[in-house]
Amino acid sequence: MLNFVQTPDPTAVPSRVLFYGVTGSGKSSAARAYAARTGLPEFSADDDIGWLPGWQQPDTAIQRELAARIAGQDQWVLDSAYGVWRDLVVPRAELIVGLDYPRWLSLFRLLRRSLRRVIAREEVCNGNKETLGRLLAADSIIGWHFRSFRRKRRVMRELQNAPGTAKVLIFRHPRDLEEWLQQLPEADRRPAG
C-alpha cells in the first residue's frame, strides 16, 4: 500500500513544486525527475542559491533575494528549501513533496553518494567537490545528516498540517515516489510548429 495521497486531478500537474526531505533522501534526483517528466524548469538550492565556489555561502540577504526570484516565477521545481529562505518559497508552492525515508536508508544513500563523489572527484555544485577530508570534518554532510534529521522530519509534518499551505505529499520509501512520478503526465516535447 502506498503511503501518500494522490492529487485530486492527475492531469493537473502543479507548476511550482518544492521537494523537501532529510539529507541523503534524493531530493535533487526526485526534483530532476519531476522536472524532466513535466517539462518544468528545475532549480537547485545548492547551485542556484546556497553555495559559491570554494564552499562559500552567500550571505543570508543574497540567498533570500535569489530564492525570492525563483519563487516569484510562474513555474519552478526546487530541490530543497534552506531554513533562512524557506518562508519565501513555501507560500508560493502549489505542491510540496516530502521525502521522509528511514534514517538507515537516507544515511546509506548519503554515504554511497558521498564516497562516489570523492572517488570520482565529481562536482557537487559550482565547482565544489567533496573530499575525504570534508567528509571527516566536524561540519561534514554526514554530520549535517545527524544534526538535521529530526528537525527536517518535524518540518515536513508541520507543513502538512499548516492551514493554507500547499498540498503536501510525504513519501516514506523511494519505490512509492517512483510510482507517483510514473503516474504524472509527460510534457508534450514535440517541436513547436
Question: Who wins on pLDDT, 125 or 30?
Answer: 30
75, 16 contact by CB (below 8 A): yes
CA distance 124 to 75: 25
Model pLDDT for residues 120-147, shown as the tens digit of each residue:
999 988 888 999 988 888 888 999 999 9
- What pLDDT, on the 0 to 100 scale, is given for residue 127? 87
Question: Who wins on pLDDT, 57 or 3?
Answer: 57
- In order of 14, 62, 185, 187, the CA distances from 96 in angstroms are 10, 24, 18, 20
For residue 161, what is its C-alpha cell? 498540517
| Percent of the chain with pLDDT strictly greater than 70 | 91
Query: pLDDT-based confidence at 30, cuts 50/70/90?
Result: very high
- What pLDDT, on the 0 to 100 scale, is given for residue 136? 87
Model pLDDT for residues 68-126, shown as the tens digit of each residue:
999 999 999 999 999 999 999 999 999 999 999 999 999 999 999 999 999 999 998 88
For residue 61, what is its C-alpha cell? 540577504
- What pLDDT, on the 0 to 100 scale, is given for residue 137? 87
- What pLDDT, on the 0 to 100 scale, is given for residue 158? 94
Domain spanning 16-183: CATH 3.40.50.720: no
Instruction: Say whether 131 sits in a helix, a strand or coil.
Output: coil
CA distance 127 to 49: 14
Rg of the chain, C-alpha, whole Å: 17
The conformation of residue 125, written as its DSSP 8-state character, comes to E
Q: What is the mean pLDDT of the chain?
A: 89
Model pLDDT for residues 48-83, shown as the tens digit of each residue:
999 999 989 999 999 999 999 999 999 999 999 999
Q: Is the pLDDT of residue 7 over 70?
A: no
Q: Is the pLDDT of residue 23 over 70?
A: yes
